[in-house]
Structure 1
Amino acid sequence: MKITDAEFDRLFKENQSKLKSFIYRLVTNTQDVEDLSQEIFIKAYKNIHSFQEKSSFKTWLFAIASNLIKDHFKAQKRWTRNAQDNCSQSIKNAPELQEEVMDVYFKNEFEIKNHIDYCFTCVMKYLPLERHIAIMMADIYDFKINEIAEVLNKSLGSVKHMLFTSRKTMKQVFDEDCTLIHKTGACWKCSELSNTGNSKAETQRKIAALELVKAKEQANATKLYNMRTALINGIDPLQSSNFQLHDFLLNQTDHANGKTYPKVDTDCKDL
């Protein structure tokens, strides 16, 4: 069945917000999101005759998006495990960046649940690109394994293996680094940021209210991971109350990736 221009516009608009958030979580740059979204629209419109309705329009559209994003990343390095730490150190070593991040912070209402989404986005960028796409499609955008296989042009077995290894990596990072879950965790950024403008008692109250934190003593790594993805599933990063802050931090993390900065023992609240 041939799709009319009006039907194409309707189907594209139905998927546009999820498509944009998907692109943003991959490229973490708003200008790239707009450029890629426009490119995807044009490519989809020009190739609408190839849509056979054997799959959903959403799956077909995300396949176009994934292929364009692969081309976009051909000359770019993935983030290193210490990318977020490099971001923190780069800010602490530059007074102008300290002023900028605090200015952005106080223009937004900081919510820890949105910061968990930001953190998940950062950790995913350690993964090889196809594994990054696969885990997002499965765990955040509710695609089935056969749909992911179609998008990535992989076998079902290959996709299952990609998801298994990707989830294992993600759970290991959170298990080792996240102070929301373990007192010995190395990453304390959500607490550090929340302390800015709030008392430590208020910060701890907000953290303790999270279902993820309530369950940490009884739940295993898989359950905690699933609780994270369930929380993230309901968040559009481009519309969140912390968007400006997280967009700034993501751009600074990308800039700081792979570089080395001297350690500075300063919390955000002291900047």
Structure 2
Amino acid sequence: MSTEQFNQEFGAIRGQLKSYILRITASVADTEDLVQDTYLKCVEKLDSFRGESSLKTWIFTIAFNLAKDNLRAKKRWAENVTDICKEAAMSNQAFFQEAMHIRMTSPQGHFEIREHIAFCFTCISKSLPLEQQICLLLKEVYEFKVHEIAQIIANTEAIVKYYLHTGRSKMVHIFEGRCALIKKEGICHQCSELNGIFNPKQKLQVELMKIEMAKEAENADKEHLFDLRMQIVQGIDPFGSNAAALQLHHLEHNRMVMENI
């Protein structure tokens, strides 16, 4: 494969790679660095690519290898990350001033509940052990096959299936207990609360009925609701959406809080 051909192929998946790295690092700066480092490492090793896997799998493997040591050195986030970061935000006037400035001035400063659902998944997934988080993202969001994930993390398919089962089960359990969008007893109402702050003229119930997961909450089982949540995450580009600037600001706040407790 020529460098020119590789550049075209890399460009085609760069958006997915970038969103994947953001979701595992929760850092825009680290994401930019790792995307660039991945590209350079791929070009350096291009002669070693033999087509034994898809080019996308090969690129994601290199990205994982570049990121894993840094990620393993960092603490996992708590399951109640949204509670911890909400409390920190409530005592940080500058955070809300900056957020409102973004909301009023940026073309990517909209607040959308759907986008916050994806944001919430990113934060809570960081409470999983790294391998479970990686496998869950690769399978549920980026639609890699089990054998491809096994290659990316350099492990067996049996271990990948175990990580997928345990990671998914844990996330389903967390959302069932916390998310008020899918269960009335849920203790987290941040989607609704933030929508009230940033979109005070919107009718909340009307907005919720635009979201399949919320519409089906009373009748669908928890596994199906998680699948609907994953469909939302799949459909969100955290760098290119109408809410990107606002959600990235929020994510940076959460990262700083969680890395300093």
TM-score (normalizing by structure 1): 0.91
The question of whether the paired residues in 1 share the 8 Å contact of 2:110 and 2:246 is answered with no
Aligned to 1:64: 62
Matches within 5 A, 1:105-124: 105-107=103-105, 108-124=109-125
AA at the equivalent of 2:225: L
Q: Look up the match of 1:245.
A: 246
Q: Which residue matches 2:19?
A: 21
Indicate the residue corresponding to 2:139 in structure 1: 138
Residues 48 and 221 (structure 1), Cα distance of their counterparts in 2 relative to 1, 3 Å cut: same
Q: Give the aligned residue type for 1:171.
A: V
**Equivalent residues of 1:101, 1:245 under 8 A apart:** yes
1:226 aligns with 2:227: yes
**Counterpart for residue 90 of structure 1:** 88
Contact 1:26 1:125 in 2 (8 A): yes
Moved >6 Å (runs of 4+): none
Deviation at 1:129, TM superposition (A): 1.1
Structure 1 position 199, deviation (Å): 4.5
Secondary structure of the structure 2 residue equivalent to 1:106: helix
Mapped to 2, the partners of 1:118 and 1:74 lie a distance apart of 21
Determine the C-alpha separation between the residues in 2 that align with 1:145 and 1:198.
41
**CA deviation vs aligned residue, 1:7-28 (integer Å, no higher than 9, x gap):** 1111211211111111111112
Distance verdict in 2 for CA 1:211–1:46, change over 3 Å: same
Q: Which moved more, 1:75-84 or 1:18-27?
A: 75-84
Q: Secondary structure at the match of 1:196?
A: helix
- Structure 1: any 5+ residue segments left out of the alignment? 261-271
CA contact (8 A) 1:29 1:251 kept: yes
Distance across 2 between alignment mates of 1:198 and 1:45 = 45
**1:156 counterpart residue number:** 157
Larger RCO (CA under 8 A, 6+ residues apart): 1
Contact 2:176 2:222 in 1 (8 A): yes
Q: Alpha carbons of 1:48 and 1:217: their partners in 2 closer, same or farther (altered >3 Å)?
A: same
| Distance in 1 (alpha carbons) for counterparts of 2:181 and 2:28 | 29
Cα separation, 1, equivalents of 2:199 and 2:3: 52
Q: What amino acid maps onto 2:50 in structure 1?
A: Q
Deviation at 1:50, TM superposition (A): 1.7
Between the two proteins, the alignment pairs up a number of residues equal to 258
Runs of 5+ unmatched residues, structure 2 = none
1:45 corresponds to: 43
Change (3 A) 1:41 1:198: closer
Give me the identity figure in percent: 35
Aligned residue type for 1:192: E
- SS of the equivalent of 2:72 reads coil
TM-score under structure 2 normalisation? 0.94
Letter in 1 for 2:214: V
* Structure 2 letter corresponding to 1:156: E
